[in-house]
Structure 1
């Protein structure tokens, strides 16, 4: 008898090879290849999609779809489903789209299940919502749901029940709970209930009995997600999937999972801090790089409608304030720098919340064009509140904070700095400058140092703050600090 063929499948990226290697040639991961027996398939068993299993086509409900001219496709606007939380809807582009798949990833204990359970509670008013828990029992989910209903803080999202009665009956009238790991039973419940929204917590815990691999394997995650996608598209059910992450912080499972879904959201934050950040990495129905801010409290997650307050602190030497943009949301953020003489042959450089290479580049520009001997000093930079700032518009704020710490100066109160720093010491214009300055003026800032030519004079006059334009980093720092940073360098 011939030995059944087998292959080795990478549990990180899904790459397949006939021979075992210690390192995956696809993703470079070590010891990720697992042997998997080949499943014999009979081509005679394949059949076309039946009408009952096909999405609704032009021939009526249940009929297969046929091609049609693009001009004949209806322009029916998308009717999004509001989650009841403005921060969540902002990241999605205005709410959940019926028939869409949304993948939510994040570190263990960050609050993914709490966020989706709160959204399920508010969305269950007037419509059916199915919450599938594949990792907890029904009693465990009920305990957390009751705590959220009784101890929840902050305003009640639109459509939820009154907090005085614990949000019990009205807020949960359409919420159905299923504790199950068998994919077939989950699909049967989705078919019978036909909910408007379904939540799967988590996709790695589901198991397809027709596959021989263990739950969470590449084949299981791929096939379970594909089956859920088919039924979601057919029934126009908005599907929310919770995904695990690897120790590197990447979404676990095959990369095809991220290609399969319509939106990929990440829930970030330090477990020892209270605030949580929701970002969109991929979104077919909205903008990416939007940001939603929540705060974790004893009664669950609470929206932070004015997140700039989280990222502002006190004033002192080495402190600068910038206006960063996360998608369409401007955030006033505080930067803190510490410059001190080094006792090492090579000075130390440390950056928290900003790319280290960006800090090295800014320090080199300051040393070259201002003559500051920063190569003899240790430099540390941190973004207040734990926010990650990636855009180059923060360059001028970083330079001002470093120079202020080096000179032991305090920036004048109410000053913000926005600008990209070129290698020649020049300031480059940045995008959405008017939006940034409007946010700064709203929070009470009265002075803004910006690149020259980045803002029309008519707009500058309409803003309720003094706009100081500069063409170089030296000119900008003189305007911000009131002294020449290169004097007596």
Structure 2
């Protein structure tokens, strides 16, 4: 006997419950439960349908050591920056989820990549949000070439699966997963059930036909990927496309990657004809000027070293408690560095406002930038410019000591390549064995006092 039941699904985390609550018991979000109906077979019939007298099926498992190692083939995306983040390219049979703010350039990036890949292989572009004419207008604006690129403007999941089985492309792009609709489900497109079932069906087909598939996902107002969290666990890689909409550059990061590193960074620049790769991204984050409150650090993003300008502004406050504002750096790290400078160098920074920003909107999370941030703050406080061509690398401890950081050779090589001639680094970084530096002077320091004096070339 078939009966119709209803349950409630949280639109934030995908949790299910039989009763309605104003607040989800799993994630704590308010008014996120939506009722859905489903048909279920009576439990007695389900149990009776199992024949326990049947012989067990033959075991399909095998020893791990006996498995053959197949080479991991990768498909180039047509862009070096895209391949860098993916880990040298797309893997056949894998699912990649690309998320980003509306209008950031996700569809532009994927349409350009699909056009480049379609020169040598078959590619299917599924447009579930825009009509075929809208995609063609963008393709013409991007100066698309005559390639083997197929376009399908469809929102029905069944039709998309049929087209994939019929065409059997090497690469498929679905823009976007929230716009697909499974007719067998009663919920609206974009709901938790629709997103989960559509992604699972696409994953099964991609694994079966060895199709490298890219899914475009929406983000919430908090900047997180919309839909159930299980979607991120379902795919093989999760990429985020970010950047300031008022700036020209865009950053592509990997949050999850089963076939590569998750700390790689790809840099693109939005131009009139679409997105172009930035081979030397340090030019985007260097101002090229010398002024009070500006220091240059070397941040490592995966296998790439980036030279970035850190800007600080220290001014007397007119409020009982001074303001602390940081852009691109954690506010807690700014408070910690200010406390160390006041404790160990005697600067009365608790009576001053402090504003800190990383040039270009880059997010710098590694502690190797502590010394550069501290030097920028002292430079603004003293109104003294740092010597031109100086980079600062080091982690600042609470006792005022400087700790060595990783990838110091790679950082110094990039600084020397861009024409910098002085580098302030912590002592004990293992630089005695480095013999390739020819035009850069190394200044090794022990604590923050010595580093600031040597950097600013003034007494504290």
Instruction: Give me the TM-score of the superposition, normalised by structure 2.
Output: 0.95
2:84 is the counterpart of 1:90: yes
Matched residues in 2 for 1:263 and 1:112: separation? 16
Matched residues in 2 for 1:461 and 1:274: separation? 35
Alignment check: 8 A CA contact 2:3 2:40 kept = no
Match of 1:114 in 2: 108
2:344 is the counterpart of 1:350: no
Match of 2:347 in 1: 372
Kindly tell me: are residues 3 and 346 of structure 1, through their superposed partners in 2, closer, same or farther at Cα, counting changes over 3 Å?
farther
Summarize the alignment of residues 4-403 of structure 1 with structure 2, pairs less than 5 Å apart: 4-41=4-41, 66-149=60-143, 168-169=145-146, 172=147, 174-313=148-287, 314-403=289-378
Gaps of 5+ in 1: 49-63, 150-166
Alignment check: 8 A CA contact 1:460 1:467 kept = no
Matched residues in 2 for 1:451 and 1:275: separation? 32
Matched residues in 1 for 2:38 and 2:380: separation? 64
Alignment check: 8 A CA contact 1:226 1:260 kept = yes
2:386 is the counterpart of 1:411: yes
1:69-105 Cα deviation digits (max 9, x unpaired):
2222222221100011000000000000000000000
Match of 1:467 in 2: 442
Match of 1:153 in 2: none
Quote how far apart the aligned CAs of 1:456 are: 2.8
Match of 1:435 in 2: 410
Alignment check: 8 A CA contact 1:80 1:95 kept = yes
Q: Counterpart of 1:5 in 2: which secondary structure?
A: strand
Q: Counterpart of 2:306 in 1: which secondary structure?
A: strand
Quote how far apart the aligned CAs of 1:19 are: 2.4
Alignment check: 8 A CA contact 1:437 1:463 kept = no
Instruction: Give me the TM-score of the superposition, normalised by structure 1.
Output: 0.89
Q: Counterpart of 1:280 in 2: which secondary structure?
A: strand
1:168-192 Cα deviation digits (max 9, x unpaired):
32xx2x1110000000000000000
Quote how far apart the aligned CAs of 1:65 are: 10
Q: Counterpart of 1:39 in 2: which secondary structure?
A: strand
Match of 2:452 in 1: 477
Matched residues in 2 for 1:409 and 1:99: separation? 57
Quote how far apart the aligned CAs of 1:35 are: 1.3
Matched residues in 1 for 2:344 and 2:135: separation? 60
1:418-448 Cα deviation digits (max 9, x unpaired):
1110000000111111101111110000000
Alignment check: 8 A CA contact 1:243 1:251 kept = yes
Kindly tell me: are residues 65 and 396 of structure 1, through their superposed partners in 2, closer, same or farther at Cα, counting changes over 3 Å?
farther
Matched residues in 2 for 1:168 and 1:91: separation? 25
Matched residues in 1 for 2:448 and 2:158: separation? 63
Alignment check: 8 A CA contact 2:290 2:387 kept = no
Matched residues in 2 for 1:3 and 1:100: separation? 38
Alignment check: 8 A CA contact 2:12 2:29 kept = yes
Match of 1:56 in 2: none
1:345-394 Cα deviation digits (max 9, x unpaired):
10111101100000000000000000100011000000011101011111
Matched residues in 1 for 2:438 and 2:171: separation? 44
- How many equivalent pairs are there? 450
Matched residues in 1 for 2:261 and 2:415: separation? 23
Quote how far apart the aligned CAs of 1:45 are: 9.3
Quote how far apart the aligned CAs of 1:22 are: 2.1
Kindly tell me: are residues 375 and 443 of structure 1, through their superposed partners in 2, closer, same or farther at Cα, counting changes over 3 Å?
same
